[in-house]
Structure 1
Amino acid sequence: MKKQDLMSIDEIQKLADPDMQKVNQNILAQLNSDVPLIGQLGFYIVQGGGKRIRPLIAVLAARSLGFEGSNSITCATFVEFIHTASLLHDDVVDESDMRRGRATANSEFGNAASVLVGDFIYTRAFQLVAQLESLKILGIMADATNVLAEGEVQQLMNVNDPETSEANYMRVIYSKTARLFEVAGQAAAIVAGGTEDQEKALQDYGRYLGTAFQLVDDVLDYSANAQALGKNVGDDLAEGKPTLPLLHAMRHGNAQQAALIREAIEQGGKREAIDEVLAIMAEHKSLDYAMNRAKEEAQKAVDAIAMLPDSDYKKALISLAYLSVDRNY
């Protein structure tokens, strides 16, 4: 597909809007609880912006197979709930105070409330899956949440560890991000009654897109402005997280450069080192390297769904893959 034939993000959102409105309504409805704090904190985080890319994948994937029922809305909602719960827990673990340009839930409501409401949202996601009456989707979701938890623990182990390998880093990306993108595509294909080949295609699409998406996020941590990014630039370095741009720069830098990056990873919290690190990355084209990896994954996502029937929804999925690596936020 030629670049001029791709859909813009506005066109994709317009196409998906009827379904996404239902998803958003369902999200708000499912946050209702007799415990006021659950609703207050839940509404705070879901109304805090966000790209809603996981539920968008789910509704587009189902529509690409001709599905018009409501189960795709349920799929989109439970996937977004797993993501939302993981964000609540992430921000506590990372001691983050800013996300999407405003205070994190833990800085507004406290760590205990964020963890417990995150637990509530996780369990609500399982209730939603139960409504689908599909043991296969239940198994997929259970596995995904387990993999996500493993990814969180592995990332915790990687913090302040400059010996983290690129392969290890890519496993964390799969576990923490790409696996849930996979679920969005695969679960949508299942409720839509897709063939095994179609299910595999949309699962692969999600995995590759999720990988590309996270790689771009890691590049933007060093290249975007804080307002566009919605968090502080250089947060990964300040938190001692060895992401792909850092690992590449350390591997290709001279002994002095490698030692500086190693120390920055080991100690964390050293925002004063960011300018030197950025200069090293620029010298060795580390951000270009990571971005090129992201573009390769996005192309794999597009290739994965080549066998799907042509439609505006397939076109939207293809366009979304390319747009995921052409953004500044």
Structure 2
Amino acid sequence: MKLTDIYWHLRSDIAKIEKELEVTIDAKHPILKKASSHLLKAGGKRIRPVFVLLAAKFGEYDIEKIKQVAVPLELIHMASLVHDDVIDDADLRRGKKTIKSKWDNRVAMYTGDFIFARAIEMATNCDKPEVHQILSDAMVEMCIGEVEQIRDQYNWNQNFRIYLRRIKRKTALLIAVSCRLGALAAGAPRNVQLSLYRYGYNVGMAFQITDDILDFIATEKELGKPAGSDLQQGNVTLPALYSMKQNQELSAYILTMINSENSEKVVMSEIIEMIKESGGVDYSFEISDRYLNKAFKELEKLPDIPAKDSFYQIAKYIGTRKY
């Protein structure tokens, strides 16, 4: 089964979630309404709702109950992207103008806050108290991750542990929670919930590492933003981090170029090529594969139902995706 087949089988429920997202972000204030709608129309893989839906297949599947978890999780993700774009001073996301670029930083921050609030509001419809605790704990961790990303911006001496902890909070945690809450909302056994959580965590780590790799090897058209933009914004990801540890000459060159007054004019192609030659991309793929193998092992513990194979295919896709 291919990824497109998974989406096809879930298309009816994904459509319901998409409609619910539209309704939930509707705002009386015209600017909030336009900004939120602009973000929603920019699209996205909706991978977190898909994780929720598949995880719910391990319990009593009821889309009306499951969407009370799936929609808030996607809204939390969307809101975090709006704030990310302000922090990163990003003008483009998925090839379209960001809210902060189309309006300004203040509108972007308030739009992100508004979407967060809508997420919490909808989550109150879920009658399982544990859902709220898990969701709030995840949001706290995500906020810490955002602050740490700001702190570590242009920190060229950070170690691998700092990077891995940051991407856990930035990406892996919400995917892990999506898997667990889908199972929890459907009343799946606790051991299944925890296996799905660990699966989601490992897939989430691999997902973000692959994202960071693509920033160096994908085209601007595929990325929807210039290649190497993370590094230019001072966000040190695994390919660059490994290469700079291995190659002091490269490290010195990057520091000189990124910190120069003409940093906006830096031709990233040369730096990207040096990172590839220093083994940063290959090493990062290796680490991503390690996380994926851990995810596959968690799947072995789960009951043999079609959703299990779907989870396997999603993990496989993450390891080979090009954008």
Normalising by structure 2, report the TM-score: 0.95
Aligned to 1:98: 92
| CA-CA distance at 1:256 after TM superposition | 2.1
**2:307 matches 1:296:** no
CA–CA distance in 2 between the matches of 1:128 and 1:266?
A: 44
Aligned match of 1:73: 67
Q: Deviations over 1:182-215 (max 9, x none)?
A: 1101111111111111010111111111101000
Q: 1:164 to 1:267 in 2, by over 3 A?
A: farther
Give RMSD over aligned pairs: 1.5
Q: Which residue of 1 aligns with 2:82?
A: 88
Q: Does 1:259 align with 2:258?
A: no
1:120 maps to 114
2:276 equivalent among 266, 270, 282: 282
AA aligned to 1:184 is: S
Pair 1:247–1:273, CA change in 2 (3 A): farther
Correspondence 1:324 to 2:318? yes
Aligned mate of 2:178, from 184, 187, 194: 184
Correspondence 1:229 to 2:223:
yes
Task: Identify the residue that residue 19 of structure 2 maps to in structure 1.
Answer: 25
- Following superposition, the deviation at residue 137 of structure 1 comes to 0.9
The answer to whether the Cα contact below 8 Å between 2:13 and 2:63 also exists between their aligned partners in 1 is no
Unaligned runs of at least 5 residues, structure 2: none
What is aligned with 1:3?
A: none
Please tell me whether the aligned partners of residues 237 and 274 of structure 1 are also in contact (alpha carbons under 8 angstroms): no
Q: Percent identity?
A: 30
User: Which of 284, 308, 311 is equivalent to 2:305?
Assistant: 311
> Structure 1: which amino acid aligns with 2:155?
D
What amino acid sits opposite 1:240 in the alignment? Answer: G
Residue 154 (1) aligns with residue 148 (2)? yes
The counterpart of 1:61, out of the listed 51, 55, 66, is: 55
- Does the 8 Å CA contact 2:257/2:266 hold for their aligned counterparts? no
Q: State the match for 2:131 in structure 1.
A: 137
The normalised TM-score by structure 1 is: 0.94
Tell me the alpha carbon deviations over residues 14-70 of structure 1, each in whole angstroms, 9 at most, x when there is no partner.
Answer: 111121111101100101222122221111101102111111111111124352342
- State how 1:3-42 maps to structure 2 within 5 Å: 7-42=1-36
- Give the deviation of 1:151 after TM superposition: 0.4
Q: For residues 243 and 293 of structure 1, what CA distance do their matches in structure 2 show?
A: 13
Rounded Cα–Cα distance in structure 2 between residues aligned with 1:69 and 1:282? 45
SS in 2 for 1:70: helix
- Return the alpha-carbon distance in structure 2 between the equivalents of residues 68 and 316 of structure 1: 19
CA distance in 2, matches of 1:267, 1:189: 50
Equivalent-residue separation in structure 2 for 1:195 and 1:18 (angstroms): 26
Letter in 1 for 2:305: S
Give the count of matched residue pairs. Answer: 322
Answering whether residue 167 of structure 2 is matched by residue 173 of structure 1, we say yes
Q: 1:246: Cα distance to partner?
A: 0.6
2:204 is paired with a residue of what secondary structure?
A: helix
User: What are the Cα deviations for residues 67-111 of structure 1, in whole angstroms up to 9, with x where unaligned?
Assistant: 234221121110000001111111111110000011111111221
Runs (4+) off by over 3 Å? 262-271
Report if aligned partners of 1:182, 1:203 keep a CA contact under 8 Å in 2: yes
**Structure 1 gaps, min length 5:** 1-6
